[in-house]
Structure 1
């Protein structure tokens, strides 16, 4: 019999020595919208067993906090993705680790089925960065990757980044704090439409909001300074086609940087790079797999 969750106090979700994984899973699904069992394990506790995660997830489903949707792949019919129910979203909305994060949970099977492919690919793109941080001793947690971050770019338009990543490189006593906008392309849009995303990032770089009621323009500085001390680098992750076709798309992005004056100006100030997701997974996110969009040899994303 399924236990009613309407009277379950949020305090039950506080970490405990015996069951902290339950809280971590709920927090991860609240932030990342959706994930498979394997992705949650890689993200939170890669040294733990899949059976442990399955057991905790099934308990959360029995109590009404999470639900699942099958993946649209006949060859993986037993694989599914997890997401928060409306009750699970309600209980996690005030958790400290999620404070200030945009609340865009997926809380229905219909919404889950529509968003599965892209959402899971964004999570998949995050995992190599998390694995590199653990291996190299850098600072980067599951909470340092925020999906679907929206910014105004003028004329009542907004740029929505697939994710904003925070990552601290540690080399002895030296700490280098990096931020990046991450765009994930599954080859579902034309190469030209993908390149237009660079124009939107260039618009955000230059956009300055004007105070309401001012007749004369008054410079308040770029709007992005409200959120970032330095404009984040822009990383494009490509998948969903042959290596040759993805290489052509990277070439198209480089052509946009060379030909569009606003994007060219951005590239002179901000590192821009693109890589193939499968290469990132095989060689690591810190491997020499990133093509600088301003030209040059492939290199790690931290060296763009």
Structure 2
């Protein structure tokens, strides 16, 4: 049984100290995923597994068995004590959601792992190309308000991407900070529901918070109040829908079905016409195999259907 007293961070190995923030931030990972994130040049995960066991012995991390896995693979997560230890250090943003033993063992396992696999694909490409995207470069389920007041249904006032990912691309002397709203679909969600998410993103892109009672829409500096996203991001993040959980031909058809449905949705098109959103869809396999800057992305909005990269820029003729 793990102890109830947390080890001092300095008493842990360097790798163990790196593991705990990753587990806290990304909720649920396999040892193999952790090894790829933190020890990419080492094929064996034996040493990393020993450090996970050390965290477990101190009550800072725990593991659950992966469902529907005959080999009994373990999935690791930070315990409440591990989360408390990290939050006490004030080195990471405090997460509003903490994974519990029940959640770790639930049917959400594969979706969580697929989100982290998407982040890993971006990290591994960055390493190959000299870009910047590290083990803590994505945050899961960041909540964004998309309307004022109370909605009739609990989630209508909020947009919660599966992850928000940050990536710095280097080309010569130019560095470009990119951010993405990541949505992962394991072919468990209807195409109509995916299209509805696009509408929520369009609302967020144009959402201007209502001023407090008695205040005007101008700030104390005299500037007009702007869209809410400008307080959080230098530019509006691009939307990247990542498909997995089926053969590539099935995923390709699903991508085109999503584009067709988005094009036929007049309510969505009206919302898009008033917003600066950019959205595309690809598969996890293509992202991992070719990287984000290959022509692997099908644009979901606009007239151009030419495959492009995650920048979603129309190519000149």
**TM-score by shorter chain over 0.5:** yes
Please give the alpha-carbon distance, in whole angstroms, between the structure 1 residues aligned to 2:159 and 2:256: 23
Higher helix share: 1
C-alpha displacement of 1:121: 0.9
Q: 1:265 aligns with which of 273, 281, 295?
A: 273
> Map of 1:1-304 to 2, 5 A cutoff?
2=1, 4-6=3-5, 8-9=7-8, 12=11, 19-48=13-42, 49-75=44-70, 77-98=71-92, 100-108=93-101, 110-114=102-106, 115-154=108-147, 155-156=149-150, 157-214=157-214, 220-259=225-264, 260-265=268-273, 269-294=276-301, 295-304=304-313
Paired positions, count: 294
Q: Give the SS at the match of 1:105.
A: coil
1:73–1:286 distance in 2 versus 1, CA, 3 Å: farther
Please give the alpha-carbon distance, in whole angstroms, between the structure 1 residues aligned to 2:230 and 2:125: 28
After alignment, is 203-212 or 216-225 more displaced? 216-225
RMSD over aligned CA atoms reads 2.1
Unaligned runs of 5+ in 2: 151-156, 219-223
C-alpha displacement of 1:297: 1.9
Please give the alpha-carbon distance, in whole angstroms, between the structure 2 residues aligned to 1:270 and 1:158: 17
Please give the alpha-carbon distance, in whole angstroms, between the structure 2 residues aligned to 1:52 and 1:167: 29
1:214–1:243 distance in 2 versus 1, CA, 3 Å: farther
1:299–1:6 distance in 2 versus 1, CA, 3 Å: same
1:214–1:261 distance in 2 versus 1, CA, 3 Å: farther
* Equivalent pair of 1:31/1:105 in contact (CA under 8 Å): no
Please give the alpha-carbon distance, in whole angstroms, between the structure 1 residues aligned to 2:90 and 2:38: 17
Give CA deviations for 1:97-150 in whole Å, capped at 9, x if unaligned.
41x343422132x11012312111110111110001000000111121111110
C-alpha displacement of 1:57: 0.8
1:33–1:111 distance in 2 versus 1, CA, 3 Å: same
* Equivalent pair of 1:191/1:252 in contact (CA under 8 Å): yes
1:158–1:27 distance in 2 versus 1, CA, 3 Å: same
C-alpha displacement of 1:286: 2.9
Please give the alpha-carbon distance, in whole angstroms, between the structure 2 residues aligned to 1:81 and 1:263: 40
C-alpha displacement of 1:282: 2.2
* Equivalent pair of 2:6/2:85 in contact (CA under 8 Å): no
Instruction: With the length of structure 2 as denominator, give the TM-score of the two structures.
Output: 0.86
Please give the alpha-carbon distance, in whole angstroms, between the structure 2 residues aligned to 1:271 and 1:7: 45
Please give the alpha-carbon distance, in whole angstroms, between the structure 2 residues aligned to 1:54 and 1:215: 56
